[in-house]
């Protein structure tokens, strides 16, 4: 009798535990549409159809194979971004970029896109992208120092390189594409006037929605790999969909992350960069206007600030500090004056 009772109690406990883990009706969380018009998890693959690596990508990889990273170039670029001065320092020696620049200006680079692969299978190419971007940005600065309008060609090539990554939803690729875009924007205000038409693409770029897409993509991957519909996973989907809705309503450019769930906490600095970029692109646009003797746009898309210019110094209403480690943020106070 006692043995039978123990068995019944064990069965009851097992049913209780199973009922908690088993999602049941909560698996419908995967069928709920996400905010910002993202649709359901099932719609994610339609946003990223497969694509094949093209010949330009193979050419670029071959050319980049002989192009080594250079710490002096990296430090020079970061120093120029962080300085906030229109005067440009002397660049270090930079290897010949002409073949790489010409390729990037001539042909779009397309990497293979496979949603099922970790990091899209492109993680080995991340270092190459960053090395080439830094060299192109540094070269652009060196040319701008000589008031050479061809400096914009180096930035344009760096931008085309960036676009080859940003069409992939994987987290690390989106973060790297953001880093590259922020660097291009951060030096553009020092380039010779006039501003070329292509730069409007950089100015129009916003990273908040792409990060929403990345959150949803990661939920889709987890959902696709689930063998059983488990309640904790359904709850995670609901939590990340709710987080997306909350972030979509943020209008400040200084992001103060609330205590987040462990699975999204490591995105805090990424969200801070994404929201701050809205002020950074305004800084560049206003600095270029001021250098061209045009009125600045005092009103900001950031609800927590605006812009002022006293004829020499362009300022956002308040500093927005980031605890940067691998990236460098452009200052939101710029000494804007024409080089003599």
The reply to whether omega before 256 is within 30° of 0 (cis) is: no
- Predicted TM-score (pTM) of this structure: 0.88
Nearest to 203 by CA among 184, 222, 175: 184
What SS3 state is found at 158? helix
Share of the chain above pLDDT 70, in %: 86
pLDDT exceeds 80 at position 18:
no
Q: What is the pLDDT of residues 181-235, one digit of tens each?
A: 999 999 999 999 999 999 999 999 999 999 999 999 998 988 877 655 567 777 8
**Structure-block tokens of residue 129:** 């992208």
Q: Is the model more confident about 247 or about 279?
A: 279
In the chain, where are the structural domains located? 47-212+266-335
Predicted local confidence at residue 229, as pLDDT: 55
pLDDT exceeds 60 at position 287:
yes
CA distance 215 to 217: 5
Segment of 9-18, 231-240, 311-320 carrying the highest mean pLDDT: 311-320
Predicted local confidence at residue 27, as pLDDT: 56
CA distance 253 to 26: 35
Q: Is the model more confident about 18 or about 170?
A: 170
CA distance 255 to 324: 14
CA distance 208 to 106: 30
pLDDT exceeds 50 at position 340:
no
Instruction: Indicate the range of 50-59, 88-97, 318-327 predicted with least confidence.
Output: 318-327
pLDDT band for position 323 (50/70/90)? confident
Cβ neighbours of 247 (radius 10 Å) = 20
Phi, psi for residue 308 in degrees, rounded to 5:
-140, 155
**pLDDT, average across residues 29-43:** 88
**Structure-block tokens of residue 88:** 């440009």
**pLDDT, average across residues 277-296:** 98
């Amino acid at each position: 009798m006692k043995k039978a009772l123990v068995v019944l109690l064990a069965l009851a406990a097992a049913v209780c535990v199973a009922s908690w883990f088993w999602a049941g009706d909560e698996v419908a969380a995967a069928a709920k549409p996400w905010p910002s018009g993202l649709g359901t998890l099932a719609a994610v693959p339609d946003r990223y159809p497969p694509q094949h690596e093209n010949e330009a990508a193979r050419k670029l990889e071959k050319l980049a194979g002989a192009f080594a990273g250079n710490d002096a170039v990296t430090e020079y670029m970061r120093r120029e971004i962080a300085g906030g001065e229109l005067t440009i320092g002397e660049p270090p020696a930079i290897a010949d970029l002409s073949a790489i620049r010409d390729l990037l200006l001539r042909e779009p680079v397309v990497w293979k896109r496979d949603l099922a692969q970790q990091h899209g299978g492109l993680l080995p190419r991340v270092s190459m992208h960053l090395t080439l971007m830094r060299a192109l940005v540094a070269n652009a600065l060196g040319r701008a120092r000589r008031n050479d309008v061809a400096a914009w060609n180096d930035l344009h090539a760096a931008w085309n390189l960036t676009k080859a990554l940003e069409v992939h939803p994987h987290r690390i690729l989106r973060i790297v594409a953001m880093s590259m875009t922020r660097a291009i924007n951060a030096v553009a205000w020092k380039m010779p006037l006039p501003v070329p038409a292509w730069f409007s693409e950089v100015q129009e770029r916003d990273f908040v929605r792409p990060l929403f897409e990345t959150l949803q993509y990661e939920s889709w991957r987890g959902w696709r790999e689930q063998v059983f519909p488990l309640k904790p996973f359904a709850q995670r989907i609901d939590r990340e969909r709710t987080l997306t809705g909350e972030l979509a309503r943020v209008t400040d450019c200084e992001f103060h992350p609330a205590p987040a769930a462990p699975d999204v906490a490591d995105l805090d600095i990424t969200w801070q960069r994404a929201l701050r970029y809205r002020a950074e692109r305004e800084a560049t646009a206003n600095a270029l206007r001021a250098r061209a003797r045009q009125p600045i746009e005092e009103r900001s898309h950031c609800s927590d600030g605006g812009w002022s210019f006293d004829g020499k110094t362009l300022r956002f209403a308040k500093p927005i500090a980031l605890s940067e480690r691998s990236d460098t943020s452009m200052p939101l106070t710029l000494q804007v004056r024409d080089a003599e």
